[in-house]
A and B are shown apart, each in its own frame.
Chain A
Amino acid sequence: MNPAIHADVVIIGSGAGGGTVAAALAPLVAQGKRVLVIEKGARIDPKQLTGAEVASASLLYGHGGAHPTADHTVTLAYGEALGGSTMVYTGTSMTPPERVITSWNLPGLSYDDVVARTARYAAQNNAGFIPDNLINDNNRLFQKGCAALGREARQFPINVRGCRGSSLCNLGCPNNAKQGTAQVQIPAAQAAGVEVVTRAEVRGLRVGGRGGILDVFVDDLPHPHGSQSEWAPGHHVIHASSVVVAAGAIHSPALLLRSGLAGDLPAIGRFWTCHPAHILAGEHDHVISNYVGHPKSFVWEERVEAERYFLESCMYFPFITAKNLTGFGADHERLMAAYERLQMILVLACDDALPEQRVAIDVNGDPVIHYKLMPKTIEAMVRGTRAAAEIFFAAGALSVHAPSARPTLIERSENADLNTRITTAQFLPGTISVSAAHLMGGCRMGATPRDSVTTSRGQVHGHDWLFVADGSLFPTALEINPYLTIMAVADHVAEAVADREGQTVPRGGDAVPAAS
């Protein structure tokens, strides 16, 4: 075993949550504190990002981008590298809906406060609208279809700097244009003296000393591209005054469960939720620019409150496309052959955070996600599928592939029959590819340890040394792409950590200057 390590603050994870806390607490180093970031994934050099679909997915994602739920009917995507999921997101920088934040009813975390923090991080990450000439046909067709139907598609602010339109966001930007935590917050934190250790997994937390004791294992497995760990392989023990768990909505609750905290906190792992999603493809009679440019420029969300779904323009790589088109055989193959003529729309549903939807652990302590698509969620996805099909046809598509239709291909002449062609009866979990990348809950904030895990400041009930700072804190689904809200909430948690350490830090992400 390696010699014991002593630190003041240890942050587990380096994504939108952990990266934010690292940068926000970086000023503590100048005040004599030792701050560590422990990241399970590898440090990736942008030069190693080639855009090769399968190899890049293995390099950057947990479970290659398809962590299955317990019954294997939904797959979950999250990044596993320095920068976490900010390495593989599209950088869509959204302010959360007021009704969602207000419904959380968390003291000290008002909507205005969240908005102010998201605005600061949006500025820090250079979020803005990409110029018109970078928007491709695939996205324009979404906007055109919406406009023809009297629907207002909103352009996503995107956090890029020097985007060339490689469209490889989900495989890690080879041009380092996306301004994720590996590009902005982590380098700023390191420059201020925060230490970052990669390829190191925290397997357990215990109470001890001034705070907690962490059991960390550094791997020595061959890794095709990412760099080696900064630490020697093997078991390391860290003593820390404050511990911030920011390993994401799957691994944060799993770590707390492995650490034996569920006895006092029955809500750990529970109230887990996501935005289950599937892809529709519309076939046009001509080649369109789809795999070049930014892949995700527009969202249509006018029905999210009433009908619990929203739609986004999107484009995916060939294997992901093949996986997401329902079925197989000649029809499937023919549609794949039309790849250059395909327009794509992502249907995302908002489901309820229920206690039975939960992260548990197996005998090895690894996470198992017990998550089922509820009837209300399926109904929302079916409504979204119909709305997406209307947009395709309004944009001029000849046919639409709809997962919850049989046969799945709907011809333009059937446009008037969408309600009968696309039905919940034909939405078969296990047949239709459903995936989610917006993972939330499992360590929800709340007032009491009976039905929540942390306070509204992310401090675990009954454990004043332990904090959570990632999407697992969300009490309900956010109803929009979540990274900027995760940063805002993590920033709020960082202030609580600084308070515990008896220090002050600049408020609201000011430790890192706004992008010029």
Chain B
Amino acid sequence: MIRQEVLAPLARQIQPILATFIPATAKLSLADLGPVLARVDERLADEPEALQRQLKLFIRILWWLPVFTHLRTLGGLSPEQRLKMLSWLQDCGVTKLRVGLWGLRTLLFVGWYGDPAVQERLGYRPNIAGWDAWHAPQAPQNQGE
């Protein structure tokens, strides 16, 4: 099956957004972003083309928006400036902008927190055997309650 690329071609524009949403990703190279965006694209594959177009347009708007305020693109802003700008959008009075940012944030979370390796680093180690696995000698032990 041919994998459809939706956000992957916009990796350069997405990189500073992802780093703002999830600071741990700031050190990822463009190549490292590949698997993250592949998970996002997989999730987007069944969504209508109109939605995919809107999403790409929204990312481009985010990229160019700071030109009006800082005379540079999103990629040229400091991490603090990016955080300030995206936080402002998150709580702004225009529902469509808030929804757009929420949607992009959610998709990038799919790409990052949907990765089983990241989930394991968070301590999430589900097992079909449930309690049997939890109580097994090597399993994480309950330290409380």
Q: Which residues of A contact B (CB under 8 A)?
A: 51-54, 58, 63-64, 66, 71-73, 133-134, 137, 140-141, 163-168, 174-175, 222, 284, 286-289, 291-293, 317-319, 321-323, 327-330, 332-333, 336-337, 339-340, 406, 428-431, 433
- A174: chain B residues at CB < 8 Å are 128
Q: List 26 A-B contacts (CB under 8 A).
A: A71-B99, A72-B99, A73-B95, A73-B99, A134-B131, A137-B142, A141-B145, A166-B126, A168-B126, A174-B128, A175-B128, A286-B143, A287-B141, A287-B143, A287-B144, A291-B124, A291-B125, A292-B126, A292-B133, A292-B134, A318-B122, A328-B20, A328-B105, A430-B95, A431-B91, A431-B102
- Does B109 count as interface, using CB distance less than 8 angstroms? yes
Closest chain B CB from A392 CB (angstroms): 14
Q: A72–B99 Cα gap in the complex (Å)?
A: 6
Interface size on B, residues (CB 8 A): 51
Q: A63–B109 Cα gap in the complex (Å)?
A: 16
Q: A166–B125 Cα gap in the complex (Å)?
A: 10
Contact with A along B123-137 (1 / 0, CB 8 A): 111111111111000
Q: Which of B102, B123, B129 has a CB less than 8 Å from the CB of A430?
A: B102
- A175: chain B residues at CB < 8 Å are 128, 130
Given contacts A318-B118, A430-B99, contact A292 B131 (CB under 8 A): yes
Given contacts A54-B43, A288-B142, contact A339 B128 (CB under 8 A): no
Q: Which of B87, B99, B110 has a CB less than 8 Å from the CB of A54?
A: B110
- Does B23 count as interface, using CB distance less than 8 angstroms? yes
CB–CB A322/B109 < 8 A: yes
Q: A73–B103 Cα gap in the complex (Å)?
A: 10
- Does B11 count as interface, using CB distance less than 8 angstroms? no
- B20: chain A residues at CB < 8 Å are 328-329
CB–CB A167/B122 < 8 A: no
- A329: chain B residues at CB < 8 Å are 20-21, 23, 83, 87
Closest chain A CB from B139 CB (angstroms): 9
- A292: chain B residues at CB < 8 Å are 126-127, 130-131, 133-134
Q: A428–B88 Cα gap in the complex (Å)?
A: 13
Given contacts A164-B131, A165-B131, A292-B130, contact A318 B142 (CB under 8 A): no
Given contacts A329-B83, A428-B91, contact A51 B110 (CB under 8 A): no
Given contacts A71-B99, A140-B145, A329-B23, contact A164 B128 (CB under 8 A): yes
- B142: chain A residues at CB < 8 Å are 137, 287-289
Q: A293–B134 Cα gap in the complex (Å)?
A: 9
- Does B13 count as interface, using CB distance less than 8 angstroms? no
CB–CB B131/A327 < 8 A: no
Q: Which residue of B lies closest to A177 (CB)?
A: B130
Q: Which residue of A lies closest to B1 (CB)?
A: A222
- Does B119 count as interface, using CB distance less than 8 angstroms? yes
- B131: chain A residues at CB < 8 Å are 133-134, 164-165, 292-293
- A428: chain B residues at CB < 8 Å are 91, 98
Contact with A along B36-73 (1 / 0, CB 8 A): 00010011001100000000000000000000000000
Q: A491–B116 Cα gap in the complex (Å)?
A: 42
Given contacts A54-B39, A167-B126, A318-B113, contact A328 B21 (CB under 8 A): yes
Closest chain A CB from B18 CB (angstroms): 10
- B87: chain A residues at CB < 8 Å are 327, 329
Q: Which of A322, A337, A340, A430 has a CB less than 8 Å from the CB of B140?
A: A340
CB–CB B144/A430 < 8 A: no
CB–CB A337/B98 < 8 A: no
Q: Which residue of B lies closest to A166 (CB)?
A: B130
- Does B114 count as interface, using CB distance less than 8 angstroms? yes
CB–CB B22/A328 < 8 A: yes
- A289: chain B residues at CB < 8 Å are 134, 142, 145
SS class of chain B's interface: helix, strand, loop or mixed? Answer: helix
CB–CB B109/A319 < 8 A: yes
Closest chain B CB from A3 CB (angstroms): 31
Given contacts A287-B144, A288-B145, A318-B124, contact A64 B46 (CB under 8 A): yes
Q: A140–B86 Cα gap in the complex (Å)?
A: 38
Instruction: Specify which of A317, A321, A322 lies most central, judged by the most chain B CB atoms within 10 Å of its CB.
Output: A322
Given contacts A73-B99, A166-B126, A293-B130, contact A137 B1 (CB under 8 A): no
CB–CB B114/A72 < 8 A: no
Q: A431–B105 Cα gap in the complex (Å)?
A: 10
Q: A352–B128 Cα gap in the complex (Å)?
A: 40
- B90: chain A residues at CB < 8 Å are 327-328, 431
CB–CB B144/A284 < 8 A: yes
Closest chain B CB from A275 CB (angstroms): 21
Closest chain A CB from B31 CB (angstroms): 21
Q: A429–B20 Cα gap in the complex (Å)?
A: 22
CB–CB B140/A287 < 8 A: yes
Instruction: Specify which of A52, A133, A166 lies most central, judged by the most chain B CB atoms within 10 Å of its CB.
Output: A166
Q: A315–B110 Cα gap in the complex (Å)?
A: 18
Q: Which residue of A lies closest to B21 (CB)?
A: A328
Q: A406–B90 Cα gap in the complex (Å)?
A: 12
CB–CB B122/A336 < 8 A: yes
Q: Which residue of B lies closest to A286 (CB)?
A: B144
- Does B4 count as interface, using CB distance less than 8 angstroms? no
Q: A54–B131 Cα gap in the complex (Å)?
A: 23
Q: A68–B20 Cα gap in the complex (Å)?
A: 25
- B22: chain A residues at CB < 8 Å are 328, 332-333
Q: A167–B118 Cα gap in the complex (Å)?
A: 19
Interface residues of B in 88-111 (CB under 8 A from A): 90-91, 95-96, 98-99, 102-103, 105-106, 109-110
Q: Which residue of B lies closest to A75 (CB)?
A: B106
Q: A329–B118 Cα gap in the complex (Å)?
A: 16
Q: A429–B90 Cα gap in the complex (Å)?
A: 11
